[in-house]
Amino acid sequence: MDFSSFLTSLGTSFVIFMVLMLLFAWLARKPGNSVIYYPNRILKGLDPYESGSRTRNPFAWIHEAMSSTEQDVISASGYDTAVYFVFLSTVLGILVLSGLVLLPVLLPVAATDNGVKIVSTTSNGTFSDLDKLSMGNVKEKSSRLWAFMLATYWVSFVTYFLLWKAYKHVSGLRADALMSPEVRAEQFSILVRDIPPVPEGQTRKEQVDSYFKRIYPESFYRSMVVTDNKVVNKLWEELQGYKKKLARAEAVYALSKKTGKPEGARPTNRIGFLGLIGKKVDSIEYYNEKINEVTPKLESEQKDTLREKQLDAALVFFSSRVAAASAAQSLHAQMRQVRQYVIYIVVALTILFFMIPIGLISALTTLENLKKYLPFLKPIVDLDAIKTVLEAYLPQLALIIFLALLPKLLYSLSKAEGIPSESHVVRAASGKYFYFIVLNVFVGVTVGGTLFSTFKSIQKKPDTLPDLLAAGLPLNATFFLTFVALRSFVGYGLELSRIVPLIIFHLRRKYLCKTEAEVKEAWRPGDLGYGTRGPNDMLIFTIVLCYSVIAPFIIPFGVVYFGLGWLILRNQALKVYVPTYESYGRMWPHMHTRILAALILYQVTMFGYFGVKKFYYAPFLLPTIILSLVFGFVCSKKFYRFFRDTALEVACRNLKETPNMEQVFRSYIPPSLSSEKIEDNQFEDAVSQVSRSTSFV
């Protein structure tokens, strides 16, 4: 890629962004679209245009986002979202503080050294105009390299400082949330998976009850043995489906009465494959029949599940928050179930070995290969205008599409590990995704590029990973520069304008939705999706960090990415997305670890690069790596346990009211088991026998 196609790509991205932003300003003012641009406020029962964004200038949302406080974010979107903004501002802070020193110092130092004859490496994806401003322009063994080494130290210390501050801040946020005087059901219940073996002559439930009653005589409320709900869930969903379809058919019938003949047209459907073949039946009658057929099945299965399908786990309810926090941290059985860990390992190994072929495939989707293997595309691809655009975008586009498809797969694999909570599954999938993209995209592109290209400018044949990375980075600077710009402008432009959800919503409302519930489902906004957002941000951060000293002009691109991200997501968090769970910042330690991992990768790469530059003092960088490891260890000791366990200091704060334990308990009964028809005493098979009236403390 030459300089002009780089500018083309940059310019196009920016224009797209401006267009999308104006589109947003125009579309968001139309009342019919308010469910797309303000669903969070609507679901909360607030006026979407409360702050006047409809009448004021089209950029009012920027002011609103800038002036919102952390408390606003927490009340609109919960603690997890607030923690996500801590992540964004920490990373932004690292890049800004680094840039403030690195740009004015390193660019002149590099540009005024003319010792290296620039080898034309256009074909490898770099170009000489920017090369002059990078570390590649400095002579080997030059004493100017000291400036670059000090810059590496500066970036490291800035990172330590901001990470420490952020961890402390998030820890405080979490403490605030956990010591809140509100009664939160999850603070009164724990999931116990290491129940001691059942003694003879007792049922699992009796054992759980007597065991916990003995240890927590004052605060034990009752227990609920976890059951295998696979079959009952399926039946329940079937029933819900029929109920929805019945409602829909009735709505259609009612509508036809108004618009057509007064007696109406009774809707019909076919009962064969996908409703396309088979006998035609009257829909209302058919679904009523089906509902009457499934309901007794569900009821008997509910009884069966509660009685026969108990698992080796139980939810235990406590009437005191401190007791629950303490019980959650205690080891109950001398030996623990390891089945889940075995599955965990098997899945992890599968993914690891799965990544290698996928990584290779993604590396081969370049324009040249496309022409070679799909020759019918050649005439189109060879048109000059299209070629420039394709050359600028294709590799990045392929990458982005591939990365968009991966998370779903990783999510379901993580679920297969048997992790019990939604937030934990997301964290596990997110971790896999992060390591996958850093390994395959960043390291893969860099090392792959180096291995496939000639070693013109490097005399020494590199043979270790840091050396390969170090040699490959300068050759791929433009690729990543374009990648970051694309993600900033097009990615966040689409995010802000919500063009895709808007179109889908209008199409669904017009052609598919018949009932109010269906319309509501069509605009339901979903959550911010930290699981994929976090790793993608981390990829950008890793790239910018690793290039920060080698090619400092990448830093402004990183600042734009995270600055825009902060601004636009602030808007989305306040007005659009609705959190699906709340883990009180439980994901922060993982984010922290990954930022630190990126820093260590950067330090190792720099060590390798100083080696490539034959700088004798390269080993002076080793202390930074050791320091990073020590920093990580100290942070984990100081803060981590509070994110795993609730400190009793925090849990022992007073509550506003006595918890309604009956309500807490009810909130844990899965909908598939809580039919109105089932008598309460049927639960006694899986839940404890403790009389509620006496154990209410």
342 binds its own copies (CB under 8 A): yes
* Cβ proximity of 371 and 377 under 8 Å: yes
CA atoms within 13 A on the CB side of 63: 8
Smallest distance, its own copies to C-beta of residue 346, A: 9
Smallest distance, its own copies to C-beta of residue 423, A: 20
* Cβ proximity of 431 and 454 under 8 Å: no
Two structure tokens written together for 383: 């048109």
Q: How far is CA 229 from the centre of its chain?
A: 27
Q: Quickly count: other Cβ atoms within 10 Å of residue 394's Cβ.
A: 16
Smallest distance, its own copies to C-beta of residue 177, A: 12
- Binding piece for its own copies, criterion CB under 8 A, among 40-48, 152-160, 324-332, 522-530: 324-332
510 binds its own copies (CB under 8 A): no
- Binding piece for its own copies, criterion CB under 8 A, among 6-14, 426-434, 625-633, 682-690: 625-633
Length of the chain: 697
DSSP 2-66: -HHHHHHHHHHHHHHHHHHHHHHHHHTTSGGGHHHHSHHHHHTT--TTTT-TTTS-TTHHHHHHH
φ/ψ of 280, rounded to 5, equals -90, 130
Q: State how far the alpha carbon of 2 is from the alpha carbons of 112, 116, 129, 475, 556, in Å.
A: 23, 20, 10, 13, 21
Residue closer to its own copies by CB (options 341, 373) is: 341
CA–CA separation, 127 and 130 (whole Å): 6
Smallest distance, its own copies to C-beta of residue 635, A: 9
Smallest distance, its own copies to C-beta of residue 163, A: 15
- Binding piece for its own copies, criterion CB under 8 A, among 62-70, 296-304, 319-327, 486-494: 319-327
Size of the site for its own copies (CB under 8 A): 42
Residue closer to its own copies by CB (options 18, 338) is: 338
Smallest distance, its own copies to C-beta of residue 654, A: 10
Q: Quickly count: other Cβ atoms within 10 Å of residue 130's Cβ.
A: 18
When binding is defined by CB under 8 A, the residue of 107, 116, 255, 322 that contacts its own copies is: 322
671 binds its own copies (CB under 8 A): no
Residue closer to its own copies by CB (options 377, 629) is: 629
Four-CA torsion 593, 595, 600, 602, nearest 10 degrees = 160
Residue closer to its own copies by CB (options 177, 538) is: 177
335 binds its own copies (CB under 8 A): yes
Q: Quickly count: other Cβ atoms within 10 Å of residue 235's Cβ.
A: 20
Residue closer to its own copies by CB (options 174, 487) is: 174
Residue closer to its own copies by CB (options 111, 634) is: 634
Burial degree of 378 (CB within 10 A; 0-12, 13-18, 19+): exposed
Residue closer to its own copies by CB (options 110, 650) is: 650
CA–CA separation, 275 and 189 (whole Å): 45
Which of 265, 583, 270, 641 has the alpha carbon at shortest distance from 421? 583
DSSP state letter for 687: B
When binding is defined by CB under 8 A, the residue of 22, 254, 503, 652 that contacts its own copies is: 652
* Cβ proximity of 8 and 486 under 8 Å: no
- Binding piece for its own copies, criterion CB under 8 A, among 298-306, 335-343, 390-398, 440-448: 335-343
Which of 133, 2, 136 has the alpha carbon at shortest distance from 458? 136
When binding is defined by CB under 8 A, the residue of 327, 347, 486, 618 that contacts its own copies is: 327
Kindly report each contact of residues 99-104 with a partner whose C-beta sits within 8 Å and lies 24 or more positions away, as own/partner. Answer: 99/548, 99/552, 99/555, 99/556, 99/559, 101/151, 101/154, 102/151, 102/154, 102/155, 102/548, 102/549, 102/552, 102/555, 103/552, 103/553, 103/555, 103/556
314 binds its own copies (CB under 8 A): no
Contacts of 13 (CB under 8 A, 6+ apart): 485, 486, 488, 489, 490
Residue closer to its own copies by CB (options 391, 467) is: 467
Residue closer to its own copies by CB (options 81, 171) is: 171
When binding is defined by CB under 8 A, the residue of 139, 332, 415, 509 that contacts its own copies is: 332
Degrees (nearest 5) of the Cα angle 124, 433, 603?
A: 55
Burial degree of 614 (CB within 10 A; 0-12, 13-18, 19+): middle
Smallest distance, its own copies to C-beta of residue 332, A: 5
Encode 240-274: b = buried (16+ Cβ within 10 Å), e = exposed. Answer: eebeebbbbbbbbbeebeeeeeeeeeebebeeeee
String marking each residue 626-645 x if it binds its own copies according to CB under 8 A? x---x--xx--xxx-xx--x
Residue whose token pair is 């100290």: 634
Smallest distance, its own copies to C-beta of residue 637, A: 5
Residue closer to its own copies by CB (options 240, 330) is: 330
Residue closer to its own copies by CB (options 7, 626) is: 626
Positions 181 through 240 that interact with its own copies (CB under 8 A): 196, 211, 214-215, 218
Residue closer to its own copies by CB (options 352, 364) is: 352
String marking each residue 148-177 x if it binds its own copies according to CB under 8 A? --------------------x--x---x--
When binding is defined by CB under 8 A, the residue of 180, 295, 329, 593 that contacts its own copies is: 329
**Residues of the shown chain interacting with its own copies in the complex, contacts defined by CB under 8 A:** 168, 171, 175, 196, 211, 214-215, 218, 322, 325-327, 329-338, 341-342, 345, 349, 626, 630, 633-634, 637-639, 641-642, 645-650, 652
